[in-house]
Chain A
Amino acid sequence: MNLSVDFAGVRMKNPVTTASGTFGSGAEYKDFVDLNRLGAVTTKGVASVPWEGNPTPRICETYGGMLNAIGLQNPGIDLFVERDIPFLKQYDTNIIVNVCGRTQEEYIEVVERLAEQNVDMLEINISCPNVEAGGIAFGQKPKLVEEITGNIKKHAKQPVIMKLSPNVTDIAEMAKAAEAGGADAISLINTLTGMKIDINRRTFALANKTGGMSGPAVKPVAVRMVYQAAHAVNIPVLGMGGIMTAEDALEFIMAGASMVAVGTANFNNPNATMDVIEGIADFMKGNGVEDINELVGCVS
């Protein structure tokens, strides 16, 4: 039975990675999961310099999901290169580094630093809803998506995944723009912009007022968008959004994703990634599927 996939030229031992921001750089989860068993670890977004992120509260729960407004707190590329990459290199898994920035120049600075590093792929976050500059500002206009993708591709040594926002009118148009800019793959969905009011305190539940919604409540939206994006482009798709179980992951795969990411589920179950990998293998065994690639986009 084959679980491995070729994702934009990178061989993954299975199609399961972590959703950026939910897993740090893996160190906090090494006591719960065998990182060697992951197809890839996708790290928390890293910028050219350290970012403090947003004020607290940064987290609140919603029905079947949660909102976060961390604001891309990160230690900056220097410490990341010195500490996080060597940590991950101890493990037999692929490294996908998520990159964030306030300006195109800042993204490119990080991409250039990573060019000399032994990491497997870059995921470019043009879809964070929680920062004032950068993030989603680049991800909501097709022209800008194409432009920033093109500029990053000029400097990147590793295959580039553009991470798309669901907070758009037409996801297919954004996927095509990333492809036109030369992206090697796309990933989606980032979080949906949401808001929660604390009625007892008559205030916003999050200090940032709005936050990114994730968790199983968003899954049907995510599956639909992955399906639409996968049909719009010829580059591979990394699907995510509310995956809690192997069954959820298989929906994304059948909708057209060659890889999937587990995010919010890690907070509910630190072993979620392992459960998803095992569950996919069980499903394949039970249904006589020899190769996971047979399932990719099988529903069309």
Chain B
Amino acid sequence: MADLKKCSAHITSQVCLETDIYSMWLKFNEDENIALNAVPGQFISLYSKAGNRLLPRPISICEINASECMLRIVYRVVGSGTNEFSKLLPGDTINIMGPLGNGFTLNKGKAVLVGGGIGIPPMLELAKRLSEDCGVSVVLGYRDNRLFLKEEFEPYADVYVSTEDGSVGTKGNVIDAIKENKLDADTIYACGPIPMLRGVKDYAKENEIKAQISLEEKMACGIGACLGCVCKSKDKDLHSNVNNKRVCKDGPVFDAEDVRLGD
């Protein structure tokens, strides 16, 4: 027992990248180096210091630096918990648990990575790893010209952008950008809002491309016990014995064809 537990992390940097978007590097003690086992697509649970905020906030891992015992998260301030995190300064500590869930499976062949909004961050570590032996294209979907992380992808991938208002890159969504740039893929890896993931799933199916998608859902325990964060599965799930899978434990990354996104 006890190969997983809450641990304390030191914040080494906290930077505001764009309106409400923050980047934070966390450093662990060597004997609690959770970065060692982390893979892209996994998440960590972050705990508030306030007694009135009980539930951990699940946030995806953006970058992994195992040799320095460090993880980076890039997150959006959406409520009181993430607002509290955004006020932490280098030298402060935070309780976290992880890495949790299952990450992306790295396939051979051409990779197209798709990130929408706050689904962009987990794609960065994935792009890094895939670029070691694959051709990687990244499609980043934003609402408007307030881009973040885009330059950081450029050493590892060809980067394409879509914006809803057309202010940068392709006007429209990430699928419009894939089509406009005639991007060819053996595997699509995606994280973002459900309508985007549904678009990715449909596009991948039409074009007979494998797709892995990372889902988000409101969680309580983060470890598969409470059944708060389920998604609908195509087939009966072995654990739940119904057509539900746990996003925290069975995901958050799923083969697109295994889950139903309201389709």
Contact = CB atoms under 8 A, between A and B. Distances in A.
Interface in A244-298: 264-271
Given A21-B226, A58-B230, A59-B218, A30 B242 contact: no
Interface string B247-261: 001000000000000
Given A28-B224, A271-B5, A76 B241 contact: yes
A32 B4 contact: yes
A50 interface: yes
B227 A70 contact: yes
B221 interface: yes
Contact of B55 (A23, A34, A73, A267): A267
Contact of B244 (A24, A53, A61, A65): A53
A60 B229 CA distance: 11
Interface in A22-36: 22-24, 28-34
Given A22-B221, A267-B221, A61 B249 contact: no
A269 B223 CA distance: 12
Contact of B224 (A24, A32, A58, A59): A24
B221 A28 contact: yes
A216 interface: yes
Contact of A266 (B1, B225, B229): B225
A103 interface: no
A204 to B, nearest CB: 13
B55 A268 contact: yes
B23 to A, nearest CB: 24
B207 interface: no
Interface residues of A, number: 43
Contacts of A22: 221, 225-226
Contact of A33 (B1, B97, B219): B1
Of B51, B227, B229, most buried by chain A (CB within 10 Å of CB) is B227
A31 B221 contact: no
A75 interface: yes
Contacts of B263: none
Nearest to B54: A268
A270 B52 contact: no
A97 B146 CA distance: 53
A184 to B, nearest CB: 27
B10 to A, nearest CB: 20
A220 interface: no
Q: Is the interface of B mostly helix, strand, loop or mixed?
A: loop
A56 interface: yes
B6 interface: yes
A61 B225 contact: no
Contacts of A270: 4-6, 97, 221, 223
Interface in B209-241: 217-231, 239-241
A57 interface: yes
Contacts of B3: 31
Interface in B22-78: 47, 51-56
A2 B176 CA distance: 69
Interface in A51-102: 51-53, 56-61, 63-66, 68, 70, 73, 75-76, 79
B56 A268 contact: yes
Contacts of A58: 218, 227-230
A207 B220 CA distance: 16
A215 interface: yes
A47 to B, nearest CB: 11
Nearest to A206: B218
A28 B223 contact: yes
A75 B225 contact: no
Given A61-B53, A216-B51, A34 B221 contact: no
Contacts of B6: 269-271
A66 B244 contact: no
A79 B239 CA distance: 9
B123 to A, nearest CB: 24
B181 to A, nearest CB: 33
Contacts of B228: 56, 58-59, 68, 70
Contacts of B5: 31-32, 270-271
Nearest to B222: A267
B191 to A, nearest CB: 18
Contacts of A53: 227, 230, 242, 244
10 closest Cβ pairs, A-B complex? A75-B241, A59-B228, A28-B225, A24-B225, A57-B218, A50-B241, A59-B218, A64-B52, A31-B4, A268-B54
Interface of B: 1-6, 47, 51-56, 81, 97, 217-231, 239-244, 249
5 contacts: A56-B228, A57-B218, A59-B229, A66-B55, A268-B55
Interface of A: 21-24, 28-34, 44, 50-53, 56-61, 63-66, 68, 70, 73, 75-76, 79, 215-217, 264-271
